[in-house]
Amino acid sequence: MSWENYEHDMQRCTRCSYCKYIPWRFIKNFDFMEGCPSAARYNWHAYSAGGKFNIGYSLLKEKIEINETFLDVVYKCLMDGSCDISCKVGQDIEPLQHMQELRIKCVDEGYLLPQHQPFIRNLRKEDNMMLKPRSERGDWAKDLPVKRATEEKVEVLYHAGCRYSYDQELWPVARAGLTLLQQAGVDVGIMGEDEACCGGRAYELGYVGEMTKFAEHQAETFRTAGIRTLVTPCADCYATYRVLYDKIGKKLNVEVYHITQYLEKLILEGKLQPKKSLPLKVTYHDPCHLGRLGEPWIHWNGKEVKVPGVLMWLHDPPKKYRRGTFGVYDAPRNVIKSIPGLNFVEMYRIREYAWCCGAGGGVIDAYPDFAEWTALERLREALSVGAEAIVSACPWCKRVFKDAAKKNGNQIEVLDIIELVQQSV
Amino acid sequence: MKLTADEYRALEDIVGPDYITQDPVIMESYNQVWGNKLAFGDKRHNPPAAVLLPGSIEEIQKIVKFCNKAGILFKASARAFEYVATYLSSERGILLELKRLNRILEIDEKNMHAVVEPYVTVYQLQDAAGRVGLYTGKPGVGYSASVISLACCHQEMTISQIYTSGYGRNVLGCEWVLPTGDILNLGTSNREGGWFSGDGPGFSLRGILRGRAGANGGNGIITKCSVKLYPWYSDPPTMQPLERKPGEALSAAQLARIPDNYKAWVFTFPTTEQMLKASTEIGQAELACIVAPAYMATGFQEEGNDEMWTKMKEGKMEDPNKIARSVPVFINGHSARELAYREKAVMAVVKKWEGYLDPDLNNPKIMAQRFQYQMWSTGIGGLRATGDFMVSIQGADGSTEMQLKFRPIEVEAFKPFRERGYIVQPNMGMSYRPMEHFSLGSSGGIATGYDPWDPESLAAAREYMNLVYDPNGPFRRFGYTNRGAMMQVEAIEHIHERWGPIYDHADKWLQKVRNMLDPNRVADWSGYIPPEYESQKKKSAS
Amino acid sequence: MVDRDLASIVGMNNVITNPEILRKYSRDYSFATPKNPICIVKPANVDEVQAIVKWANEKHVPLIPVSSGEPHFRGDTVPSTENAVIVDLRRMNKIIRINRSNRVAIVEPGITFQELQKELNKEGMCAYMPLLPRNTKSLLASYLEREPITMPGIHFDSTDPMLCVEIVFGTGDRMRTGEAAGPDPLEKQWEIGKAQISSFGPTQMDPQRLVSGAQGTIGIVTWMSVKCRFISELRRAYFIPSVKLEPLIELSYKLTRIRFSGNIFILNGLNLACLFKQSAGEISALNQNLPPWIMFVSCEGYGPLPDEKVQYLEADLRELAAQYGLLPVMEIGGLSAHELNNMLDKPCPDPYWKLRLKGGFDEVMFLTIQGKTPEFAGIMEELAKQQNYPPDNIGVYIQPVVQGTSCHCEFDFYYNPASQAESDKTRLLVALTARLMEEKGAFFSRPYPELAEIAYRRSRDTAEMQKKVKNIFDPNGILNPGKLCF
């Protein structure tokens, strides 16, 4: 739905500011009541989802133009969807989709954020968002004995994603994920240097065309390789394949799993048995793209209707709003809880209303200080519940947490669930 | 003319460059609130000249003094979640958003009060106070309302006001930056001995702070306030267990059960009159912490509007005629004996008036939801339907007998609108909030739904509002009309000008007080009273 | 001539110029310097009051409104300036309405507690009482002065039990506040069910707060609607004696926190003795047999199941008292708590209980928090010792107010007014006490003339604003000049 079609939502934002906070009834600690990093960090209401509805409306009514401030407001946003969840506890409007369409509009009309351009150029040229050459894509698994899915048929494709492929420090985790699958007897392969970006991060910057291209490419590649099942250790890729491709009408004919879902499955089937005790107090960080943004897309093609005598916005057919309910929250937790010795504590902002790590929405590329600030906030929260380690399920989370942890003296360990399982089996 | 470059710089020098902006894009997020369409005909009103985020009372004073010198209008707000919060009467007007003043300074557990800054919300205070066995009442707007806005500047109609009072009666002191920039501390405010009295010496200046409603920012800025707290016999709200089944949306998460030391029921009676008599008797016997005749609100039901409509079509909604004869009653007890007595006494009254427990209205899950909503909130249910609603005449506060006489007049006045169907009053019965065990009567009002973006609905809403606002109309005798806490914009609706003269010239005195407080006319009067009506200006010009 | 002007408003019989009578009105039991008024004028209705006020504005004549009969004690109803006119409102002595269903009465200034109680009792109701007011005390004036009532549990606001008022401001304009405002006279308001109970506004001011505690400097109140309560069907009362004040304060905190309904206050032995006994000898003797501190609590059975209510209240009271090592008893030193409870429903039968011991008294009263009262009591004791003031001549009254969020703390100094030495000593001690207490945080929210300067010491901003407010409602400064900060 194009941006102009969100006029209804822009009009009906009431300025309740609920988008700035986690849903009120879930607040456990007022030190950690904020849900939207943009609103928390930047002073003005414009930086909230509600504020973006406002400036969107004013743009629609030609009271303002897209300029530097406008782009600053639009792009200093992690696109994490916390606002969307909180708003929709009590409203039937779409803050996140509006902001997405606003970005698409900016890109379509040539209002491009300069900081994003190197990444987009590299994506176009080298099929990745990491400013690296395509030829180095497979290096993370160079000496690993693993099937190449382009050369032989595999049951499961392990899609590492750009971050794992190129971030050398994180390679052990990517490798561990793959090794665990192999250990469990899964017939798994990788694309190696033939793996391409999913295009999801570009989409979130507003480059819908790029993602469409990659969606078509992936569909063709997977079809050719006979891929039926895809497992990825990256939450961004998970959400792209599972949700965004479907959204743009390019749903893959492939079953998509996040590694935590697959590990849960393997543990339940007894194919992986975490036996070694890990005496560690851990908390789990819900990656946005696995949690609330990992909720399957709901297609709706209808219209707003009025029923005589009933003053409510209604739809025909009824519109089911995505409110984050069906994201992946339990599988990672179940995996953690299956590991002996771990003392698992929850943070205050979890599941649908988790605080973002800081890496999303192009922020890690364009506004690294904002990304760092967001991550530090999350680490502060993890420390406040007494965790010795913060465990996530996404390389972008891990990267930004690791960098932030260094900044605050490494008071907390930053782990991925894969690492915990690896240490315990 | 907005601000000159020098004026902007001067303000910037006070708060620092990070805390002021006049960027046109940013300004567009400070001029769009629910209710704008009804008042202004558009989602937007004119944007402020600048928005500032002062960090201290010293900065606020300097800003205000500068405004006096430069002739710039100012208004302060907390979360600005209502339309007169961002509207300024002149384009040379600035908003002061008080988000940096966000501390609970003190909770005096023994002396039962809290001292807070403007950005502290009701829910925050309920939680902090709950940890020491104290409570502050929940307003209709719910969680995010600023404690100071409620107590000093706006309304403070709470569901629990039978027990926790309201309308400024809980103010035990405040630190007030006057429109001149001077500071006035009411009573013992800011004294070492504690903020326990806002009255005197001599007569109480709370009398010019607010009345039935506050000045909505028009008489300066309250930077600290002491509010009375009430006993609370359970855990604070953040420690209450919430239940939600897998696959249920966040909005379904609700209190698992009524907390210990509390009990809650909905009683239904053969007639509305019996219901009200029972309610009054329960209230006057000081048995309850909530008695909310015909106010069945549970907060959000169903995930969204479409789901709600499905439920309505399936006939699963509460029968409005039954609601009109029903009343939620919550009791508490500091001891098991007290709770037991209150329960027995309530049941005795209910029996006397032939009341009963309708199982549909007393489903334990719904009752827990109702408790949660009426004690703390679950959000603002009324806004999901269409994005705005009106309260019908407010100010019709008083006795049950008066409400009984008033309601048929309102029903009759609303009848043509009901028939046309462009605006709705979903609840057929009275819904009102008794105060201080009924000794101050009850606050009246009923929500009227309309769609601001449906031209016919908007037109009907305006027509109805005009009827409500007509001093020669059916509501003339019942109370000084207003759209809830004087939320109408005086320059548009002229309530004071039209109603003041028939209400003991209250407007004349209010205007004098306003002009005394603000001789240079820099405190925005949009939700208050203008320094001069247009008619007065014309008169003095001629 | 003043009297002729006023006679044209109220009639010759209602203008008093008799020098003896004028002398009586010039003074009271306070240490205020007597100043004879020009005359006394006695209006019968609000129209006459308005006319008098308008006349006073034209002629710049100060007016001193008085609603109670003598004796007066606090200096607020005697002239502070020369050439004033006393406006004696006692001819306005109607009970305008008693409305049981809303527990409200509307009274004119001349109505005393006794008179209203009698009529309320017929309806099964009674008024909220201060501690044994004198029998000539105007109920309206008592509430206007913010005299504390003895039932803190329902004392929601400092203005309680006052609701709506009709005021004639110093300009001569009339206004009715709260629900009483509007296009209709009272009778027509009743027709539509209005009961003058909603006290707010109208609109964005609370004018009734501007006359509360104003000592008649802002306006003359010509009627007031007041909260009333139902008579208890059953009641039981207790004394809770204690050697030390602190445990009683802890218990008081607890009782007020849970909004225990009923009378709750603390007296020292002397004041309790003064309440019960008539003669100085009896009082002194009784005082010797009483503990230093006595709390009084009543368990009031109104509403449904009064027996059961009283039963649970008693049980709770005993349990709570035990937590602080206290024991509620029904009798102490031969005094019956039940008898006191009944006494509290009525005004004092003789002129005033505070006159019984020595024939004269002065007061230092202020607001504080309950927890500070032992400190103030200690300071008082020390100061009395220093000044050689007999401790057996100092009564103490501690009354939680506004549901226990603050507390009226009162020291009563009993002396023989016929003795210059005692008068001087008392006057000095009162001044020293007030000054010292204020330094220690006492808040003189009711600053009677003697102590006004001390009261405003830390409230200069309040004084400045009050002057501006007065300039609106009494621009010519004709209402009771010399009081408060004016």
Give tens-digit pLDDT for C201-229.
Answer: 999 999 999 999 999 999 999 999 999 99
Residue A314 near residue A306 (C-beta atoms within 8 A): yes
List all residues 6 or more positions away from C51 whose beta carbon is below 8 Å from its beta carbon: C9, C43, C172
B71 closest CA partner among B538, B531, B496:
B531
Chain B residue numbers with beta carbons less than 8 Å from the beta carbon of A331 are none
Q: For chain B, which chains pass the contact test of at least 3 CB pairs under 8 Å?
A: A, C
Which residue in B110, B200, B341 is closest to C312 by CB distance? B341
Average pLDDT, chain A: 96
Per the domain annotation, does B246 fall within a domain?
no
Same domain, B436 and B408: yes
Rounded to whole angstroms, the Cα distance separating B186 from B203 reads: 11
Chain A residue numbers with beta carbons less than 8 Å from the beta carbon of B254 are 25
Query: How confident is residue C32, by pLDDT bands cut at 50, 70 and 90?
Result: confident
Question: In three state form, how does the secondary structure of A122-173 look?
Answer: HHHHHCCCCCCCHHHHHHHHCCCCCEECCCCCCCEEECCCHHHHHCHHHHHH
Nearest CA in chain A to B451: A311
Per the domain annotation, does B239 fall within a domain?
no
Residue in B158, B349, B504 to test binding to C, most C beta-carbons within 10 Å: B504
Write down the pLDDT at residue A409: 87
A311, B449: Cβ pair inside 8 Å? yes
Write down the pLDDT at residue B393: 64
Q: Does an interface of 3+ CB pairs under 8 Å exist between A and B?
A: yes
Of residues C149 and C4, the one with the higher pLDDT is C149
Domain count of chain B?
5
Give tens-digit pLDDT for A235-259.
Answer: 999 999 999 999 999 999 999 999 9
Chain B residue numbers with beta carbons less than 8 Å from the beta carbon of C198 are 397-398, 435, 440-441
Which residue in A17, A92, A324 is closest to B79 by CB distance? A17
Which residue in B32, B53, B452 is closest to A43 by CB distance? B53
Chain A residue numbers with beta carbons less than 8 Å from the beta carbon of B385 are 311-313
Which residue in B26, B143, B303 is closest to A44 by CB distance? B26
Per the domain annotation, does B471 fall within a domain?
yes
The alpha carbon of residue B447 is apart from the nearest alpha carbon of chain C, in Å, by 20
Write down the pLDDT at residue B260: 94
Same domain, B205 and B264: no
A169: exposed, middle or buried (Cβ count in 10 Å: 0-12, 13-18, 19+): exposed
Least confident of A322-326, B418-422, C207-211: B418-422
Chain A residue numbers with beta carbons less than 8 Å from the beta carbon of B40 are none
Query: How confident is residue C315, by pLDDT bands cut at 50, 70 and 90?
Result: very high
Rounded to whole angstroms, the Cα distance separating B50 from B72 reads: 11
Three-state secondary structure call for residue B53: coil
Chain B residue numbers with beta carbons less than 8 Å from the beta carbon of C203 are 211-213, 480, 482, 486, 496, 500, 503, 506-507, 510, 529
Nearest CA in chain B to A54: B29
Q: What is the mean pLDDT of residues C28-46?
A: 92
C461-465 long-range Cβ contacts below 8 angstroms, 24+ apart: C461/B182, C461/B183, C461/B184, C461/B185, C462/B184, C462/B185, C462/B186, C462/B187, C462/B200, C462/B201, C462/B202, C462/B205, C463/B201, C465/B184, C465/B205, C465/B208
Taken as a whole, chain B contains a residue count of 542
Three-state secondary structure call for residue B361: helix
Tell me, what amino acid is at C374?
A: P
Instruction: Using the Cα atoms of residue A128, residue A132, residue A134 and residue A140 in order, give the sign of their dihedral.
Output: negative
Q: What is the mean pLDDT of residues B529-538?
A: 91
Average pLDDT, chain B: 92
A94 closest CA partner among A10, A164, A158:
A10
Hunting for tokens 């509430």 — which residue is that? Answer: C143
* Strand order, beta sheet including B104-108: B104-108, B113-116, B221-228, B171-177, B183-185
Write down the pLDDT at residue B430: 64
Give tens-digit pLDDT for A8-26.
Answer: 999 999 999 999 999 999 9
Same domain, B114 and B223: yes
Rounded to whole angstroms, the Cα distance separating C295 from C301 reads: 20
Per the domain annotation, does B243 fall within a domain?
no
Chain B residue numbers with beta carbons less than 8 Å from the beta carbon of C223 are none
- φ/ψ of B410, rounded to 5, equals -65, -40
Select from B197, B231, B265 the last residue of a domain: B231
Chain B residue numbers with beta carbons less than 8 Å from the beta carbon of A325 are 247-250
Give tens-digit pLDDT for B294-334.
Answer: 888 887 778 999 999 998 888 877 788 898 899 999 999 99
The alpha carbon of residue C63 is apart from the nearest alpha carbon of chain B, in Å, by 18
Give tens-digit pLDDT for A102-154.
Answer: 999 999 999 999 999 999 999 999 999 999 999 999 999 999 999 999 999 99
Chains B–C, number of C-beta pairs less than 8 Å apart:
331
Q: What is the mean pLDDT of residues B390-399?
A: 75
Q: For chain A, which chains pass the contact test of at least 3 CB pairs under 8 Å?
A: B
The alpha carbon of residue A56 is apart from the nearest alpha carbon of chain B, in Å, by 9
Same domain, B88 and B146: no
In the numeric block, which tokens belong to residue B1?
């003319």
Residue B101 near residue B117 (C-beta atoms within 8 A): yes
Write down the pLDDT at residue B320: 81
Which residue in C194, C369, C402 is closest to B399 by CB distance? C194
Q: What is the mean pLDDT of residues C384-402?
A: 97
Nearest CA in chain B to A352: B250
Query: How confident is residue B85, by pLDDT bands cut at 50, 70 and 90?
Result: confident
Q: Does an interface of 3+ CB pairs under 8 Å exist between C and A?
A: no
pTM of the model: 0.97
Peptide bond into B246 cis (omega under 30): no
Per the domain annotation, does B245 fall within a domain?
no
Which residue in B194, B439, B529 is closest to C369 by CB distance? B194
Least confident of A337-346, B107-116, B221-230, B414-423: B414-423
Write down the pLDDT at residue B395: 60
A61, B44: Cβ pair inside 8 Å? yes
Which residue in B183, B213, B441 is closest to C461 by CB distance? B183
Write down the pLDDT at residue B429: 55
Query: How confident is residue B403, by pLDDT bands cut at 50, 70 and 90?
Result: confident
Chain B residue numbers with beta carbons less than 8 Å from the beta carbon of A302 are none
In the numeric block, which tokens belong to residue A398?
């891990």
Residues 352-391 of B with CB under 8 A from C: none
B503, C308: Cβ pair inside 8 Å? no
Chains A–B, number of C-beta pairs less than 8 Å apart:
189
Give tens-digit pLDDT for A156-186.
Answer: 999 999 999 999 999 999 999 999 999 999 9
Which residue in B112, B402, B496 is closest to C193 by CB distance? B402
C205, B348: Cβ pair inside 8 Å? no
Same domain, B264 and B370: yes
Q: What is the mean pLDDT of residues C420-432?
A: 95
B213, C201: Cβ pair inside 8 Å? yes
The alpha carbon of residue B47 is apart from the nearest alpha carbon of chain C, in Å, by 26
Write down the pLDDT at residue B394: 65
Q: Which domain holds residue B85?
A: 5-97
The alpha carbon of residue C241 is apart from the nearest alpha carbon of chain B, in Å, by 22
Give tens-digit pLDDT for C241-260.
Answer: 999 999 999 999 999 999 99
Give tens-digit pLDDT for B268-292.
Answer: 999 988 999 999 999 999 999 999 9
Write down the pLDDT at residue B428: 56
Rounded to whole angstroms, the Cα distance separating C208 from C188 reads: 22
Chain A residue numbers with beta carbons less than 8 Å from the beta carbon of B312 are 310
Which residue in C174, C200, C403 is closest to B211 by CB distance? C200
- φ/ψ of C296, rounded to 5, equals -120, 130
In the numeric block, which tokens belong to residue A167?
């971030």
Residue B337, chain C, CB below 8 Å: the answer is: yes
Per the domain annotation, does B489 fall within a domain?
no
Rounded to whole angstroms, the Cα distance separating C382 from C388 reads: 10
Write down the pLDDT at residue C2: 84
Q: What is the mean pLDDT of residues B489-500?
A: 90
Same domain, B121 and B55: no
Of residues A363 and A306, the one with the higher pLDDT is A363
Q: What is the mean pLDDT of residues A66-73?
A: 98
Same domain, B397 and B469: yes
Average pLDDT, chain C: 96
Residue in C155, C192, C200 to test binding to B, most B beta-carbons within 10 Å: C200
Which residue in C153, C202, C444 is closest to B480 by CB distance? C202
DSSP string of C333-377, one letter each residue: TTEEHHHHHHHTTS-BSSS-GGGTTTSEEEEEEEEE-GGGHHHHH
Peptide bond into B241 cis (omega under 30): no
Residue in C46, C192, C205 to test binding to B, most B beta-carbons within 10 Å: C205
Residue A118 near residue A385 (C-beta atoms within 8 A): no
Residue B120 near residue B130 (C-beta atoms within 8 A): no
List all residues 6 or more positions away from A125 whose beta carbon is below 8 Å from its beta carbon: none
Per the domain annotation, does B238 fall within a domain?
no
Same domain, B86 and B108: no
Write down the pLDDT at residue B481: 82
Write down the pLDDT at residue B427: 63
A78 closest CA partner among A313, A416, A397:
A397
Select from B459, B484, B509 the last residue of a domain: B484
Select from B375, B398, B419 the last residue of a domain: B375
CATH number at residue B205: 3.30.465.10
Q: What is the mean pLDDT of residues B370-384?
A: 88
The alpha carbon of residue B125 is apart from the nearest alpha carbon of chain A, in Å, by 10
B338, C312: Cβ pair inside 8 Å? yes
Q: What is the mean pLDDT of residues C382-397?
A: 96
Question: In three state form, how does the secondary structure of B213-282 look?
Answer: CECCCCCCEEEEEEEECEECCCCCHHHCCEECCCCCCHHHCEECCCCCCEEEEEEECCCHHHHHHHHHHH
Nearest CA in chain B to C437: B193
Share of chain C above pLDDT 70, in %: 100
Rounded to 5°, the CA angle B218-B122-B361 comes to: 120
The alpha carbon of residue B112 is apart from the nearest alpha carbon of chain C, in Å, by 6
Residue B94 has pLDDT above 60, yes or no: yes
Write down the pLDDT at residue B484: 72
Which residue in A15, A26, A46 is closest to B25 by CB distance? A46
Q: Please, which residues bridge with residue B221 across strands?
A: B177
Chain B residue numbers with beta carbons less than 8 Å from the beta carbon of C197 are 398-399, 439-441
Per the domain annotation, does B249 fall within a domain?
no
ipTM: 0.97
In the numeric block, which tokens belong to residue B277?
């008599």
Peptide bond into A172 cis (omega under 30): no
